[in-house]
Structure 1
Amino acid sequence: MKETPGDTARALGLAIALHVLLFLLLFAGMWWTRSGAPAAAGAISAELMATSDLSAAMQRTLRQKPEPIVEPVPEPEPEPEPELPEPLPEPVEEQPQPQDFIPVPDEVDQAEVTDQPTPTPATEDKVQEAKQRQEQVDLTEQERQQAAQRQERLTEMERQRQKQLEDIRRRRAAAAREADLAEQRLQQLAQVRAGNAAEAAAQADATATGAGGQDDGLRARYVAAIQAAVLSKWTRPESVAVGSQCRVIIRQLPGGQVMSAEVASPCALDEQGRRSVEAAVLKAQPLPYAGFESVFARQLNLNFRAEDR
């Protein structure tokens, strides 16, 4: 931890106080030793003599052992209690100083710059507040730019997705058109072939009838059977009157499978009635065929008559 000037002064004071205390203790010990020592006397002369040479009174005095006088020992002065060192202050964690804004050096000649006064705490506080406000403004601007970039990326992704969907829909529509055109071409080809076959069959039937073939009675029964089959699958709309007639061109295959049914003129039915007759022909397939092989026609002109079942 970094030592501050206050910590240095406090440690110096404690060291001086400890030295003063040691000096006082040393002085008190020396004084007490000097006061307890006997006073120094002059030179002592001694002469040896026998006890018998002493008088009787001196001998009695010597035989009486007087109790030694105990000099009172002076109580030692109480030692002064050493001063307790002041408690060290709790270490304060240094707060990280905000990094000062480093301005861009300018081109001004420093020799011409006058001395500026030392900033006061109030001025520093204002500078810090201004710096914090600027940092907040910069942070807000950065967040706004990031949000705008995210929105731009999302918009671009959505645009790409819509473009891909549009491409898929366009390809599907093109494929559907191609399929419809192919189906129409197949139907047209089938109709042409059916028409050619019907004409050939009609010519063959006419040739057979003229050459002694089946009479018109079997053909009339064949047409009546087809009329009955179509009527069994037809529901008369309210707009169609009973007895109304309509010409229907039926193209079929051997066995009675219907390839197409189309209302032609003359027809006394409205649009709803015409569509209902065409639907009834398709529902009635296979049309009667067994027993009518000799009068079968691939293309048959049926004079449909509206009747109630």
Structure 2
Amino acid sequence: MDMENTMHAGCQFHFDNKFVEGQATFGGIDLFQIGEICCECGYEIPAHNQYCLELSCIVSGSGYFFINDTCIKVAAGDILFNSAGYSHAIKTDQTNMLRFVYMGFKFNELADMEFAEIQAFLQSAPYHFAKDTHNLLIPFMRNIDEFYSRKPYSHTMIRNYFEEIIVSAYRSFTQKADKVSQYMPERSPHSVGQTVYAVIRHIENHIFELRSINVLAKNLNYNSSYLSHVFKQRTGMTLQRYINHKKIEKSLELLKYSNISIKQVGEKLGYETIQSFSKAFSRIMGYPPSHYVANQREQY
């Protein structure tokens, strides 16, 4: 394994793990490269032939990915997969830095049974592009951390994270937003339980896009007052309080594993200012996010 931490003109940092073919096999995946890069405004990665499959997850900023003659505008929260055999280039926005994590890999013969459908889909087009609706950034960052920490059973953890990343990316590329029944359901105990479960599942899957209870209710085709009432009745917690707790829970993951700023975490979770995020965080945790970040740095 070749691990690099490089800094050069136009690049703030580049942590790269490279492997020769056959050196890093994790179940049905042969890994060639995994890492993270932060590019300054206007920085370019020249066009090169893509020799393996590559999946990228945009952490922050914006820029452009080029697949042959196609230009794809990317921003924080986007994921992009590009197939082998095509020309690939990257250019950062002139007014914004670009930071992303990536993995270069191939499926091996062990993937034929487990990932046959996913493999066929991913390789069916030069590229696939979508919003990250399944939180790939968390397993991505945890996986990169495994390569550096070398903890016991890292190989097992890395394989599990890779499989989670591949399946989650496939879901983001192929699945439409969750919908429940198109009519107001009967208010039986059974249907109420299904309603609450649908709400919890939707919050889990759409925590970054969730802005209000009204939007949540509209997405699930329910009346917002009814939804709030049955949620409190069934769980003993108000719907807004539950959403607040889930957002702070997600912020703990992001602050620990993604290395993005407190301000960026707050923006990603829909808080208008860093002050409103810090206030919400302190209300639940008992201390500000800056205190949590400082404690995490002390541990490392």
Same fold per superposition (TM over 0.5): no
TM norm structure 2: 0.16
TM norm structure 1: 0.16
Higher RCO structure, 1 or 2 (CA under 8 Å, sep 6+): 1
**Comparing both structures, which one devotes a greater share of its residues to helix?**
1
**Comparing both structures, which one devotes a greater share of its residues to strand?**
2
